[in-house]
Amino acid sequence: MTKNRKFLALAAQIVAVLAVLVTLSLCFVGCNGDVDPDAPPVDFNRDDLGRVPEEASIQGVTAIDGAQVTATSAELSTDEAVKATAAYLFNLANANLEKVDYYANYAVGGGTANVTNLNMAGDMKVREVRIKDGAAMYMVTLGRVTNGYLTGNSSKPVSFIIGICRGILDYGNRKYTPDGKTMYVQEGGSGCLDETSVANFFTDKPYINWDKCDDVRSESIEDFMKNEYYRNHYFETNSSLINAKNLVSASVVRDDELDCYNIEMTVDVNSDALELATESTRESAGSDDIVFAYQTIKCQVWDCGLFRTYETADSWEGSMGPGGMLKGSTSNEWTKYFTYNKENAPGLQIPTDMTWYK
C-alpha cells in the first residue's frame, strides 16, 4: 500500500485509467475481475480450508455465548436485536484471530475500476496467503491487471492499455514478523511476476521472483498497523467499526449441519464504520473527494467463535487528479477461506527458510 509508483507520460486516456487502477491496487487487495482463461479453478478443499477446527486448535479462544445470540433472521432485517447479534458474532470471530495460536487463510479478490467521464475501465485480480503461528505472521500477496477496455466492452480488451497497466500496476509482496515487534516487508513490480503467477498462486510452483523485488525494509508493528490502517491488532481480517448502530441491516441464520452461523451485514457508509478505510483510500488516491457507495460483509462463524469464511463487497466513487478532472469508481470483492488445524495444512506453513529478511 505504501509502495511508490512512477507514472509514465502517456496520453490523457491512459493516465486516467492508470490513476484509477493505481488507487484500486493500493487501496484494495481485492476486486471482481474476469478470471484469466489459463487460470484453473481454485481448490479450496486442500489444507483443511473451511474444515471445523479441532479441539487442540481452539485453546484460549472464546466460544459463542448463546445468551448473546438474541435474535436471528433469514432475511436482511433492520431489527436492532438482529443487527446486534450479527455484530457480536463478527467481532467475536475477529478478536479470536489474535487469541488462536495458529490460523491460515487463502484469499481471492478482484475488482473493476471505471473512469466514468472517459468511458474506460480496467479489471484486476489479487491472491493472498496469510499465516499466523504464535506471534509470527507471514503474508504473501500478488496482484495482476487482467483487462483494460472501453466501458461496456469487457470482451474487447485494449492490449496497449493492458500492457502499460501491467508494467506499472502488477505487483508481488511478502510481509513477515517473527515476534510481533518488527514487520519486514519486501515488494516488487511487474518484473517479479510471470505469465503463470496468478494461475499457479495456490500450487507448489514458484510464483514470485524475489530476486527481482526491492530490498527488504522494516518497521515497528505500531507503525505497520498505523500505515496499513489496522484497528485492533495485525491479525484482524477487517478494520471496520461494526456495531448495531453502524449497520443498515443484517441477517443471522443458524446452520445446524455445519455447526456455524451464517451472517450478512449491510454497513452504513454514512456512519463512522468505514473511517479507517476512507482515510486509507483518500490517502492513496491523493483526494479527499472519495466516498464509499456501499459495503456488505458476509461471514460464517463456527460455534467455537472462529471464522469459517469471510466475504466483503464494496464500492467507492469520487474525483481525483488535477482539479478533480478524473471521475472514477470501483467495485470490489474479497473472499477468505480459513483453517486452524496446523497439522492438516502442510501447504499453509511459514517457510522454514526465512533468511531473506535478515
Q: What is the pLDDT of residue 200?
A: 56
Residue 204 has pLDDT above 70, yes or no: no
pLDDT tier, 197 (very low <50, low <70, confident <90, very high otherwise): low
Residue 294 has pLDDT above 80, yes or no: yes
Q: What is the pLDDT of residue 316?
A: 83
Average pLDDT over residues 288-304: 91
- Domain assignments of the chain as residue spans, ordered by start: 12-39+63-351
**How do residues 243-266 score in pLDDT, each as one tens digit?**
999 999 999 999 999 999 999 999
Residue 170 has pLDDT above 90, yes or no: no
SS (H, E, C) the chain: CCCCCCCCCCCHHHHHHHHHHHHHHHHCCCCCCCCCCCCCCCCCCCCCCCCCCCHHHCCCCCCCCHHHCCCCEEEEECCHHHHHHHHHHHHHHHHHHHHCCEEEEEEEEEEEEEECCCCEEEEEEEEEEEEEECCEEEEEEEEEEEEEEECCCCCCCCHHHHHHHHHHHCEEEEEEECCCCEEEEEEECHHHCCCCCCCCCCCCCCCCCHHHCCCCEEEEHHHHHHHHCCCCCCCCCCCCCCCHHHEEEEEEEEECCCCEEEEEEEECCCCCCCHHHHHHHHHHHCCCCEEEEEEEEEEEEECCCCEEEEEEEEEEEEEECHHHCEEEEEEEEEEEEEECCHHHCCCCCCCCCCHHHC
pLDDT tier, 27 (very low <50, low <70, confident <90, very high otherwise): very low
Q: What is the pLDDT of residue 2?
A: 31
Residue 35 has pLDDT above 70, yes or no: no
**How do residues 46-70 score in pLDDT, each as one tens digit?**
678 888 999 999 999 999 999 999 9
Residue 168 has pLDDT above 90, yes or no: no
More confident residue, 162 or 133: 133
Whole-structure pTM value = 0.84
Residue 38 has pLDDT above 50, yes or no: no
Report the percentage of the chain scoring pLDDT > 70.
82
Q: What is the pLDDT of residue 128?
A: 87
More confident residue, 79 or 19: 79
Residue 153 has pLDDT above 70, yes or no: yes
More confident residue, 239 or 19: 239
Q: What is the pLDDT of residue 198?
A: 56
Q: What is the pLDDT of residue 160?
A: 75
